[in-house]
Each structure stands twice: as C-alpha cells, then as structure tokens.
C-alpha cells in the first residue's frame, strides 16, 4: 500500500481581506458620525434621567459658569428676521453691513444692546469667551427684549415648534439667581414651556421611576 500523503497546509491566513474590512468600517464610522461642532463656550451641563434627545435646530440660551448669558439663534431661516426685529423695536440703528455681520458671522449674541453697534462696527473680532454676556439683572433684563423679538417673529406660526426649540443650556456651577432671571425673561414673554439641556443619566435602580419601568417623560 502506498502511503497516503497528507499535504501539509500552512496555518497562516491571509490577513489582507480582514484588514481591508476593518479599515473600511473605520472609514465608514468616521465619515458617518456627525462631528460635534467645537464648543466655543465650555459648559458642563447637569445630568437628568430624561431620555429625549436635544434638537439640533434651536434657540439656545447659554449660561456659563461665570454667570454670563448668551443667545444663539439656530434657526437660520428666522435669524435675520429676529435680528431685524430687535433692531427696529429697540432702535439700535445698526447699518445694513453691521446687521449682515451679526446675522452671518456672529454665532453667539453676548453683548449689551448699547455696545452691540460699536462691537459690530469695529474690525476686531471678539471671541464669544471675551464677550460680556447679555445683561440679565432684575433691573435690566435685556434677554426679555431678545425673546420678545423671537416671539414677534414666530407669532402666528406653530407655537409648539417654538417651544421645542427653546433650550437653556447652563453650567452646573452657575448660580441660581441668573437662571431665575432667564426664566423670568421667558415668562415675561409668555413662554412657559421650554427645555433644559442635560447630560443623559440612567434611572437609579430601585427608584419609583425604575419600578414603573417607563422612561422619563419630564
């Protein structure tokens, strides 16, 4: 009987294909994930058990650690209208080029109304971190005027849509009175429903909410 020869096979597997797949997936994930826009204002939000995702398009009131208040008008279609509205209602006397700069270039609005013109007229670009913030004392609450322009522009439209867009993003370290003044500015404009941006958190095990098993709705 002739011996049956078993051919000796190499144990080395060709890794090229696997490598290709790995990097293809990697490329896909990198390209598919939407990059978070770099945060100009560093804000560390508190946590909550709410599971609703924050909308992208929003009217965002940012409250920084130092207690400065900024406004960001994320709805590009209405931004120009809102800024034009406050220009006329508060008699800011901004020139068309200054208005254009405020609408197109400035992402955050964070200047007292009386300093807005000089800031927009100068060629120096002030980063949001160096801005003063919108005055929000109980005596001079300028956020009320901004929000009034917002409500003026959205008047007649879908109010629910506006409610969904109104966001407050605050730093956990900011003091309560400023938050209270923001709420007051909203309430003065009949805006009673708004949302707070928070970092997601799991429902604590054993709590009432955990037992009912339903997701947080508030």
Partner 1 sequence: MAEMDTSSGGGHKKGPGVKKGKKLSTRVDLTPMVDLGFLLITFFVFTTTMSQSTAMNMNEPKDDPDSQLKVKNSGAMTILLGKGNQVYYYYGQLEAATASEQFKSTTFKGIRALILEKKNGTPIDDLMYIIKSDDQSTFKNAIDILDEMTISAVPPGHYAEVTMESVEKMLLRETEKANGIQ
Q: Which residues bind partner 1 (CB under 8 A)?
A: 15-16, 18-19, 22-23, 25-26, 29-30, 33, 36, 45-55, 63, 167-168, 170-180, 183, 186-187, 192-201, 203-204, 207-209, 212, 216-218
Chain Cα centroid distance, residue 39? 9
* Closest CA relative to residue 60, chosen from 143, 155, 173, 157: 143
Nearest alpha-carbon partner for 165 in 156, 175, 173, 154: 154
Beta-strand pair 69-73/59-63: antiparallel
Query: What is the closest distance, in whole angstroms, from the C-beta atom of residue 185 to partner 1 in the complex?
Result: 11
**Interatomic CA distance for residues 144 and 150, integer angstroms:** 10
State the nearest-atom distance from the C-beta of 17 to partner 1, in Å.
9
69: helix, strand or coil: strand
Please identify, using beta-carbon distances, which residue of 104 and 211 lies nearer to partner 1.
211
What are the angstrom distances between the C-alpha of 38 and each of 42, 43, 68, 181? 9, 12, 19, 28
CA–CA gap between residue 177 and residue 189 (Å, rounded)? 19
- Taking the least distance from each CB to partner 1, the nearer of 95 and 207 is 207
Query: At closest approach, how far in Å is the CB of 20 from partner 1?
Result: 9
Smallest separation, CB 64 to partner 1 (Å): 10
Looking at the Cβ atoms of 87 and 141, the one nearer to partner 1 is 141
Asked whether the beta carbons of 100 and 77 are under 8 A apart, the reply is no
In the complex, least distance from residue 78 CB atom to partner 1, rounded to whole angstroms: 20
> Residue 150 or residue 174: which is nearer to partner 1 going by CB?
174
Of 52 and 117, nearer to partner 1 (C-beta) is 52
């Amino acid at each position: 009987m002739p011996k049956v020869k078993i051919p000796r096979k190499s144990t080395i597997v060709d890794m090229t294909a696997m490598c290709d797949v790995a990097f293809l997936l990697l490329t896909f994930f990198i390209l598919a994930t939407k990059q978070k826009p770099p945060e100009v204002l560093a804000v560390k939000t508190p946590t909550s058990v709410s599971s609703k995702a924050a909308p992208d398009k929003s009217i965002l009131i940012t409250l920084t650690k130092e207690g400065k208040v900024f406004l960001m008008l994320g709805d590009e279609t209405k931004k120009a209208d809102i800024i034009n509205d406050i220009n006329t209602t508060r008699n800011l006397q901004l020139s068309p080029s200054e208005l254009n700069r405020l609408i197109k270039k400035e992402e955050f609005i964070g200047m007292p109304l009386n300093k807005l013109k000089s800031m927009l007229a100068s060629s120096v670009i002030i980063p949001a971190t160096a801005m003063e913030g919108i005055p929000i004392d109980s005596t001079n609450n300028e956020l009320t005027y901004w929000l009034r322009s917002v409500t003026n522009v959205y008047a007649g439209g879908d109010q629910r849509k506006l409610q969904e867009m109104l966001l407050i993003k605050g730093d956990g370290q900011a003091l309560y009175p400023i938050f209270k003044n923001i709420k007051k500015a909203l309430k003065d404009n009949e805006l009673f429903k708004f949302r707070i941006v928070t970092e997601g958190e799991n429902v604590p095990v054993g709590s009432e909410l955990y037992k009912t098993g339903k997701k947080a709705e508030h």
